[in-house]
Structure 1
Amino acid sequence: MHHAWAGWKIDESSDIRAGIQQVPFGLLPYASNSFWFGSGYYLGIEDDYDLGVVWRRDDGAHRFHVGAFSGDEYGTGARYDRYSFDVATTEDLPYRERERLNLRYENVRDWNDGELALGASLFTGRVENRIEGEKYGHDGAALHAQWKRGQLTMQAQWARYRYRIDESRIAMSAFDFPFEIAAEADVPTFNVAYALPQTGWFDGITCYNNLSMTSPVDDDAGLRESWQNVTGCSFAKGKMFTYVDWIAGKNMWFVGGSGIGVDEPGSNRWRSRLNVNVGFYF
């Protein structure tokens, strides 16, 4: 399930939504431009959808989000077939997500002939060990910026997440496949995108480069930094939207790595692949 929510428009600048919806954290709606998203997506801090209530306010210069979530969208870490990445319950790491509070603020202003959005995000919550029944802290923070001038868009973000568990790793899952990540890490991101002038057959073409990494905070011997870089273009024509991406990764899940921020044999070298995705949206 992707999303399912009901909302109430309080006034012209604010509303409240309840249900399965996007968690307000970091750059919105995405800290990326490509089909593959950025590293944060696989870590559960980008384009994550969970069950909760979110109050939003946007008066132009100031944007606020306050969200309270009961856990992941299915209420269990044992279900791996999902769209957004959440804590997985595995035999070695039997955890699941529980309650969480999210706060996000963004200020929008004119700067250098463009629009600059500067913001900060925080969350605090808990995860539960399904065997012991004990709960452990789960928190994170991000500083984020986006600048748009004409057809150019630049994004920068620093995020840190932390699971206050005894182990140096925790398991995540989506698309029916669990894997392990570092339990605490910094996640810097830098993106640049340029929308080409509309010419020819396509309604729009945007080319981009998205760079992100995961740097474990712990010095544990079983951890190692992971890198991901995506270079590509998206093509829009009517109801059709196409991505052509070259994704490269080092020690990165989905590009030859066994996890993210973890050190496993054979993962510490650059690998890459070409991806073409054609979708029709009605």
Structure 2
Amino acid sequence: MHHAWGGWKIDEASDVRVGIQQVPFGLLPYAAQSFWFGSGYYLGIEDDYDLGVVWRRGDGAHQWHAGVFFADEYGTGGRPGRYSFDVATTDDHPYRERERLNLRYENTRDWAGGELALGVSAFTGRIEDRARDGHHGHHGAALHAQWSRDAWTWQAQWARYRYDVPEARVSLSAFLFPFDIAAEADVPTLNVAYALPRSGWFDGITCYNNLSSTRPVRSDPGLRESWQNVTGCSFAKGKSFTYVDWIAGKNMWFAGGPGVGIDEPGGDGWRSRLNINIGFYF
């Protein structure tokens, strides 16, 4: 399940949504332009959809989000077949997501001939320890910026997340496979995109480079930084949208690595693959 929500429009500037919806954290709607998103997606802090209530307000240059989330979209860590990356319940790491409070603010202004959006996000909550019948803290924060001028868009973000668990790792899952990540890490992101002038057959072509990494905070022999870089272009035509991009990763899950921010055999060296994805949206 991706999303399912209902909403109430309070006034012209604000509304409330209830249900499975995007968690307001960091650059929105995405901290990337590519098919693969950025490293934050695989860590559950980018384009994550959970069950909760979110208040949104857009007042001129100011945008606020405040959300309370009760659990992941299925309410269980034992279902790995999902779109969003959430805490997985495994034998080594028997946890699942519980309550979380999210706050986000963004200010938009004119700057250097373009539009600059500066923002800050934070969340605090807990995960359930199903083996010890207790809970552990789950926290995160991000500073984010996006500058657009003419056909260029630049994005920068620094995020940190932390699971207050005894181990140096936790498990996440999506697309049927659980894997380990560092329990605490910094996640810097730097993206650039250029929208080509419209001409010829396509309605729009955007080329981009998305760079991100996961840098564990704890000093532990089982942890090591991960890198991901995606270079490519997207092509829009009518109801179709196509990605052609090249993903390269070092010690990065989905690019040949064993997980994200962990040190396991098979994580050495850069690995890459070519992706061509054609979608139709109705």
TM-score by length of 2: 1.00
Distance 2:238 2:227 in 1: 34
State the 1:133 CA deviation. 1.2
- Does structure 1 residue 107 correspond to structure 2 residue 144? no
1:22 matched residue in structure 2: 22
Indicate the RMSD between aligned Cα atoms, in angstroms: 0.4
Q: Deviations over 1:41-70 (max 9, x none)?
A: 000000000000000000120000000000
- Does structure 1 residue 270 correspond to structure 2 residue 265? no
State the 1:265 CA deviation. 1.1
Q: Sequence identity of aligned pairs in percent?
A: 77
1:148 matched residue in structure 2: 148
2:125 matched residue in structure 1: 125
- Does structure 1 residue 35 correspond to structure 2 residue 23? no
Q: Deviations over 1:129-168 (max 9, x none)?
A: 1111110000000000000011100000000000000000
1:163 matched residue in structure 2: 163
The secondary structure found in structure 1 opposite 2:26 is coil
The secondary structure found in structure 2 opposite 1:234 is strand
Report the number of matched residues: 282
The secondary structure found in structure 1 opposite 2:9 is strand
- Does structure 1 residue 242 correspond to structure 2 residue 245? no
Distance 1:254 1:83 in 2: 14
Q: Deviations over 1:154-211 (max 9, x none)?
A: 0000000000000000000000000000000000000000000001000000000000
Q: Deviations over 1:14-33 (max 9, x none)?
A: 00000000000000000000
Q: Which amino acid aligns with 2:163?
A: Y
Map of 1:44-123 to 2, 5 A cutoff? 44-123=44-123
Distance 2:141 2:99 in 1: 17
Q: Deviations over 1:1-26 (max 9, x none)?
A: 00000000001110000000000000
Gaps of 5+ in 1: none
- Does structure 1 residue 180 correspond to structure 2 residue 184? no
Distance 1:130 1:243 in 2: 40
Distance 2:48 2:25 in 1: 9
TM-score by length of 1: 1.00
1:218 matched residue in structure 2: 218
Gaps of 5+ in 2: none
2:197 matched residue in structure 1: 197
Distance 1:268 1:170 in 2: 21
Distance 2:149 2:2 in 1: 32
Q: Which amino acid aligns with 2:154?
A: M
Distance 1:139 1:267 in 2: 27
4+ runs deviating over 4 angstroms: none
Distance 2:244 2:129 in 1: 41
The secondary structure found in structure 2 opposite 1:41 is helix
The secondary structure found in structure 1 opposite 2:16 is strand
